[in-house]
Structure formats: C-alpha cells, structure tokens
Structure 1
Amino acid sequence: MTYFNVGEIVNTHGIRGEVKVLATTDFAAERFAPGEILYVKQGSQKPVKLTVKSHRQHKQFDLLTFEEITNINEAEQYKGSQLQVTEQQQTPLEDGDYYYRQIIGLEVYSLEDELLGKISEVMETGANDVWVVRRPNGKEVLLPAIKDVIQKVDLDKQRVIVDWLEGLDEQ
C-alpha cells in the first residue's frame, strides 16, 4: 500500500495525549476531521492506524487527539513521526491541478522541444506556485506556474511543455 504525508507530529500538547501537528496538506480541515483515519509512520516500521478524535487550530499548528492515544506517555513515542493517508484517501483534484509529488521530477521542455531542465521543487507564493527548474548546467531557474507559461503537463511522458520567457535564464 502507498502512503502520503499529510503532516508531522512535532510535539505533544498537554497531558491527555494531544499532539501538535505541522500540516503538509492543503486539506487539513478534511484530513484532520473527527472520525478520519490517519497512519503514523516511524522509521521502517509498518504504519500504525489512528482515528482522529478531535481537531483544533492553535497558531500555525493543528492540535489533534486520537481514539488510540489517551495520555502524554503514549503520545511521546510519535514525536517527529509523519502522519499519512493512503492513496485511496487522497482528495481527487480538478483537471489541471496536480499534487506536488506529481510535478517534482518532471522534465521541462520548450515549445521547440528543447530540454530545459527538471523540476526539483514547488514553492508556494501568494499569487501562484513557482516551480524550481534545475538546468543541465546546475543552475536553478524559477518558473511561474501560470497558464501563459505552462502549456502542457503530460504525466504519462513525465514532461512539461513551457513557453520559456525571455530573460528567465539570464543572471
């Protein structure tokens, strides 16, 4: 079974087993809703199934309790662990939307079919995402993920066709 990270347990909170989670999902309210199933992964061990009992926000963190964890001693063992969901639990995306894991690693080609590099990272900005393209020469170029630039994403061929803007490579 394939698992995907949705958050990291960074600490405990209180003595009743509540944990402080740094979310790595855009769907935190849905993922961490009471009754939802999450899996906690520690090292190479098999993921442990947990049922969300409660969820609340505190500053930039999500505070969760689980049916299976009733005190701080039980929660302590999971500090630093990843919270995960299965592939079947993932939220379906609209056409033209992609998970970061689908974009990272794609080769970037120009309209003229020239290999420009490979996407190494996706950065979130206020207006739009920015894809970091590592050029064959090792330099990185920031590519805005907007319709004028991104012409086609072909997951089957593991490539992206872009309208490479004049001056993007100049530094």
Structure 2
Amino acid sequence: MKHPFLEAGQIVNTHGIQGEVKIVPWCDTPEFLCQFDTFYLDGQPIRVRSMRVHKGNVLAMLEGVDSVNAAMALKGKTISIDRSGVVLPEGRHFIADLLGLEVIDAATGEKLGTVADVLTPPAHEVYVVRGEHEYMIPAVDEFLAETNVEAGYIKVRLIEGMRTDV
C-alpha cells in the first residue's frame, strides 16, 4: 500500500530573523515544492504562508513560525507532501514507490532481486538491484521492459556489465 505522504525535503536551517526556514528539497527541482500550500511535519499539517527558491533550496514562512527560535526548533525535521496533490507525467514514479519492487529479467523470467536504491545522477536515474547478485540498471527505455508499481515488479533487459559484483 502506498503511503499517503511522501518525504520531500529537510529543514536544515533558519533564514533571516522572521522565522523563515531553509529546506533542502528531495525532489527533481526546488520549484516542485513551491506548488504546495501545506506541508506535513511529524504527520501534522502546517500551512505555508510564503515560499521561494533560493540557491537551489526553498525558503519558506510557515504558519505559526514567526521567530528565529521557532524556526530553529524545526531544524532537522523532514517535510512531507500529500501524494494526492501530485500528478506525475506518464511513465514517471515516486522513488519511494520503486524501492522494494521485485526486479525480473524480461528475457528469462529470472527474479534478480529488489530495488534497494535509486541513484539520481544528472543524466538519468539508476536502479540498484540487490538479490543473489547486485545490478546497476539505468532507468531508460532500452533497459526497462515494464514497470508495474501496483503489481510490485519491474521487468528489465540486461546487458553485460550491469552485474556489479562479478
């Protein structure tokens, strides 16, 4: 079952003296976070009064946080978003939904393992698959035959060199 909230960033510091917080986003772009008017901290909703992108981070004024001390109390907290407020483009998935999916060789039907991590270098994502062996599989059409999050699997096309523990 998909969790209704997705971790989207971390409050790492304060900014200024009015209670603004600095958030390091855990999504594709900091602008993505700016579309939300409510975040969730420890499962509780907190309204966003204002938000802006600054040097690759998000600076936000949160309801009820109006001093440096109040902002400091939030340092280190993870912010989450409500997944129902997000529409992803066709073929895109939340990383949280990919972790733990079973990975199957499309040619042989062999179960290779599960998605243990998703690396996000600039070019494209790379799935780290761990089972009896470890594989690094670029998340591009050439290697992904089918992704079915609801059914819990990804079918892949392997080539030599994807297995990393040889």
TM-score (norm. length: structure 2) = 0.87
Mapped to 2, the partners of 1:30 and 1:53 lie a distance apart of 16
1:49 Cα deviation after fit: 2.4
Query: Runs of 4+ in structure 1 displaced over 4 angstroms?
Result: none
Superposed CA deviations along residues 3-41 of structure 1, whole A, max 9, x for unmatched, are 2111111111222101111111235324335x7111222
- Mapped to 2, the partners of 1:67 and 1:169 lie a distance apart of 49
Q: For residue 11 of structure 2, what is the amino acid of its counterpart? A: I
| Aligned position for 1:6 | 8
Deviations 1:58-104 (CA, angstroms, capped at 9, x unpaired): 32321111232111122121111111122322x11122111111111
1:44 is matched with none
| CA–CA separation in structure 2 for the residues paired with 1:48 and 1:12 | 20
The one-letter amino acid paired with 1:16 is: Q
Percent of paired sites with the same residue: 28
**Amino acid of the residue matched to residue 166 of structure 1?**
E
Query: Is the 8 Å Cα contact of residues 31 and 53 (structure 2) preserved in structure 1?
Result: no
**Which amino acid is the alignment partner of residue 17 of structure 1?**
G
Q: 1:168 aligns with which of 147, 162, 166?
A: 162
Output the CA distance in 2 between the equivalents of 1:93 and 1:81.
25
Matched, 1:25 2:27: yes
What count of residue pairs does the alignment treat as equivalent?
A: 162
Residue pairs, 1:141-160, within 5 angstroms: 141-160=135-154
SS in structure 1 at match of 2:89: coil
Q: Name the SS of the counterpart of 1:167 in structure 2.
A: coil
Q: Partner residue of 2:93?
A: 98
Normalising to structure 1: TM-score of the pair? 0.84
The letter for the 2-side match of 1:15 is I
- How does 1:78-117 map onto structure 2 within 5 Å? 78-89=74-85, 91-110=86-105, 111-117=107-113
Report matched runs for 1:117-156 at 5 Å: 117-137=113-133, 140-156=134-150
